[in-house]
Structure formats: structure tokens, C-alpha cells
Amino acid sequence: MASFNVPDIVVGRLPVYLRVLNYLLAEGRQITSSQELGDRLGISSAQIRKDLSHFGEFGKQGTGYDVLFLRDQLKQILNVDREWKAILIGAGDLGNALAHYQRFADNGFDMLAVFDNDPDKIGKPLGRYTVKSIDDLESFITENQIEMALIAVPAAAAREVAARLIDCGVKALLSYAPITLAVPQGVRVQYIDPVTRLQHMAYYIGSGDK
């Protein structure tokens, strides 16, 4: 159902819509509106309607959206109505936190293994995992048909790790390393760097001091 003609910024908002729809379902709600969604998310109702219109008509004027139906439609659009196999590279402090993060499994991402190159960590328990040697990376990916990987290694190692993952056919990388990765066409990469986010916010909250 994916369309590459849809602006990426629109696709990036769909998981946020999906999250609030899940909250509404947990509250026992059956019907919502673009106005309510907008109020909860700090997004205009017009923007929400415009975003959804890229994928079809999901609501009725004067009635609103069926919460369960819209939730299921967004899951199909995002391809998260199935289970994705993923692995984590890096068993340091950040990797430790990610290995214990429960929402991956709750949202269709099956984290199968954690890898590291530190002999002191290999073979040791980390949450529900036993840390595997990075030397076993390629064989594990091939045997388990891994589709996604999280990179939580130092910047100096991130490019080599990414190259190994891509060579094995992994098509989606979520990188926590503070470095930009060069990836070939057909491979998607997203970055999570708390420092750059803090710097972004500092620009605004510190502007009054200048």
C-alpha cells in the first residue's frame, strides 16, 4: 500500500496519528474527529485531513472517523500490520536500554538478537537476550531473514557496521550513532541523536538571552 509519491514528512506524521488512535481505543472510544486528533497532537485539523487524503477517504463529514477502522488502515499503510524481524548492534549503555524497551514487541517489531564486539559482553545476559558476537552477524541475518537493524555503537564503528548490515540485505537502519551514514538507493536510514535535538531546542529557548 506504500506510495513513494507521498511526501516523507507526511509519512513521518502517520505513526503519531497511529499512536493517538491506540490511546483512544484504550479509552474505549469508537469515534473521533480531525479536530480532536489535532487538539491532542498540536496539529491543525486541516493538516490531518490533508495528510490522510493522500491515502483515501477514511471519515464522513458530520460523523468523523471510526477509530478502530482508521487505526487498522494506518497500520496497513505503514506496513505494521505484520511482524518485522530486527536486531540490535551495540550492548553498551544505550544498547542496554534498547534491549529492555518493551514497545518494540508491542508494535510489531520482533527484536531477535543483540550483537557486540566486546569479549566481556559476549555471552552475557542482557534483558531477555544473550549478547552475540559481531562475528556471527552475517550468518544470523541470513538464517533469520533480518529486515531491520538498530545501530547503537560509537560513531567510529557505525559506518563499518552499517556497511556489513547492508551487504547482508538489511534494508532499514535506525542509527543512534552521531554520524551520517552513506547508504545506497533502496536502503532507508533514520537517525536518533538526543544532542542534536537538544541543540535544536536551545536555539529557541536561548534566543531571549541574545
Task: Give the tens place of pLDDT for each residue, 161-193.
Answer: 999 999 999 999 999 999 999 999 999 999 999
Asked if residue 89 and residue 56 are part of one domain, the reply reads: no
Asked if residue 89 and residue 192 are part of one domain, the reply reads: yes
Chain-centroid distance, C-alpha 36: 25
List the CATH number of the domain containing 30.
Answer: 1.10.10.10
When computed from its CA atoms, the radius of gyration of the chain, rounded to whole angstroms, is 20
Is the pLDDT score of 4 beyond 80?
no
User: Does 70 reside within a domain?
Assistant: yes
Mean pLDDT of 181-206: 91
The pLDDT, as a whole number, for residue 105 is 86
In terms of pLDDT, which residue wins out, 102 or 166?
166
Is the pLDDT score of 2 beyond 70?
no
Asked if residue 63 and residue 164 are part of one domain, the reply reads: no
**Residues 58 and 69: beta-carbon distance below 8 Å:** yes
Is the pLDDT score of 204 beyond 80?
yes
Please write the tens of the pLDDT for every residue from 44-90: 999 999 999 999 888 776 678 999 999 999 999 999 999 999 999 99
The pLDDT, as a whole number, for residue 207 is 66
With a pLDDT cut of 70, the percent of the chain lying above it is: 95
Residue with cell 524481524: 85
**Which residues form the domain of 47?**
8-77
Q: Is the pTM of this model over 0.85?
A: yes
**Residues 128 and 110: beta-carbon distance below 8 Å:** no
User: Does 206 reside within a domain?
Assistant: no
Asked if residue 89 and residue 40 are part of one domain, the reply reads: no
List the CATH number of the domain containing 189.
Answer: 3.40.50.720
Asked if residue 46 and residue 105 are part of one domain, the reply reads: no
Asked if residue 98 and residue 28 are part of one domain, the reply reads: no
Asked if residue 93 and residue 26 are part of one domain, the reply reads: no
Asked if residue 123 and residue 28 are part of one domain, the reply reads: no
Q: Give the residue from 42, 60, 77 where a domain finishes.
A: 77
